[in-house]
Amino acid sequence: MPRNVAVGLGLMEFPFDTVAGFWRWVDLCEAGGVDSLWQTDRTISREPILECMSVMAALAGRTRRLKFGVNVLSLAFRDPVLLAKQCATIDVLSDGRLLPALGIGSPLAPEWRALNLDTKTRGRKTDEGLEIIRRLWREDSVDFEGVHYRLNGASIRPRPVQPDLPMWIGGSSEAAIRRTARFGTGWQAGGETPDDIGALVAAIREAALAAGRPIDDDHYGAGFAFRFGAPDDPGLDALFAAYRRRTGRDPHKYFAIGDAAAIVGRIAGYVEAGISKFILRPAAKGDAEMLAQTRRLIEEVLPLVAARWPKPRRREPARVAAIGPD
C-alpha cells in the first residue's frame, strides 16, 4: 500500500487569458503546498500549448520549492543526447527538482502525420533513447550502436544534481510494462480509471522484480481532470468536446466533478489500486476560473488528503547521553 500520497497539478492546453495569469497560478501553487507542476508534451497543435522543456526551465527559475515534470514526454520526437543535456541542466539549476517522465507518445498524436514520421519506429527509438539518456547521466563516456542512434565517446557535464535522477515511464501496453521494468524508477498512468489500474500496477511490479530492479511502492502515478461544480456547468461543454476529440473517451467517466469529497473519493480509488502520486488538471478556462479552481483544491482537498494519508514521520537520529564527571 502506498505510504506517501502527493498531489500535483498539470496542464494540457494553455488555459489562461494572460501570461501574468499563468505566473499568478504558479505562485499560488508554490505557496499553497501543491507537490508538483506538470506540462503535457505537444509540439504540433492548433490550440495554444506551451513547449514542455521550456516550461521546465522557466519553472526552475520562478519557484524554490515545487517539483516539476512532463506528463509524459514523447521520446521518439526528441534527440536523446539533447534531452539528457536539457534535463541535467534544469535539474542543476533547480537544485534537484526535475521529475522526467518519458514515453513513446500516442499513435494519434498529430506530430506523426505533420512531421512525416513512422509510428512503427516509436517503440525501438524510445528504448534506444532511454538507454542513451540513462547512461549519459551516469557514465563518463558513452559508445552506442543502435538502429536509430549511434554515439562515439559522448558525455555531458554537469550531470544531474539528483544522484539517481528519476525516470518515470508512461504507457499501459505490454511493451510499456517491460520498458518500465527495464528503465523506470516510476510509472505514470495515462487515461486509466481506478478500475483499470490495479492490474497494470501488479504487472509492472512483477516485471520489475523479474528484472531485478523493483520499483518503490510510492513511485506509481495517475492523473485526472477535476472541477468544483456540476457536470452541466456551461463552461464544461467546450472542455468536454476537446477531450472527446483528443482521446475518444467519455469525459463524464474520466473527470472528477463535484465537491472536495468527490475529488478525494476519486483519489482514494486510485490509492486502493496502488497509486500514490497524482497529477490533477483543473477543468477550467481563463485566469479567474483557473485560480478559483486551484485555490479551492488547495484549501479544501489538500487538507483532506493530508489527514487521510498522513506522511510517515522521518526517524530522528538516536541521541547519545553525554557522560561527564559527577
Q: What pLDDT score was predicted for residue 3?
A: 73
Q: Phi/psi of residue 235, each to 5°?
A: -70, -15
Instruction: Assess if CATH 3.50.30.60 describes domain 6-308.
Output: no
Q: What pLDDT score was predicted for residue 320?
A: 39
Tell me the pTM. Answer: 0.91
Q: Phi/psi of residue 154, each to 5°?
A: -75, 140
Mean pLDDT per 10-residue interval, the chain, length 326 residues: 86 96 98 97 93 98 97 93 98 97 87 90 94 96 97 97 90 92 93 91 95 93 95 84 78 89 97 97 96 98 97 59 38
Spatial separation of the C-alpha atoms in residues 250 and 248, rounded to whole Å? 7
The neighbouring-strand residues paired with 79 are none
Spatial separation of the C-alpha atoms in residues 91 and 167, rounded to whole Å? 13
What pLDDT digit, counting tens, does each position of 210-262 carry?
999 999 999 999 999 999 999 888 878 888 887 887 777 887 788 999 999 99
Q: Which three cell numbers stand for residue 291?
A: 485560480
Beta-carbon contacts of 290 under 8 Å, excluding residues fewer than 6 positions away, are: 15, 16, 21, 25, 282, 284
Instruction: For residue 33, give the DSSP letter.
Output: T
Instruction: For residue 148, give the DSSP letter.
Output: S
What are the residue boundaries of the structural domains of the chain, listed by start? 6-308
Strand ranges, E, within 36-182: 36-39, 67-70, 73-74, 98-99, 101-103, 142-145, 150-154, 168-170
Q: How many of the other CB atoms lie within 10 Å of CB of 300?
A: 15
Q: What pLDDT score was predicted for residue 322?
A: 38
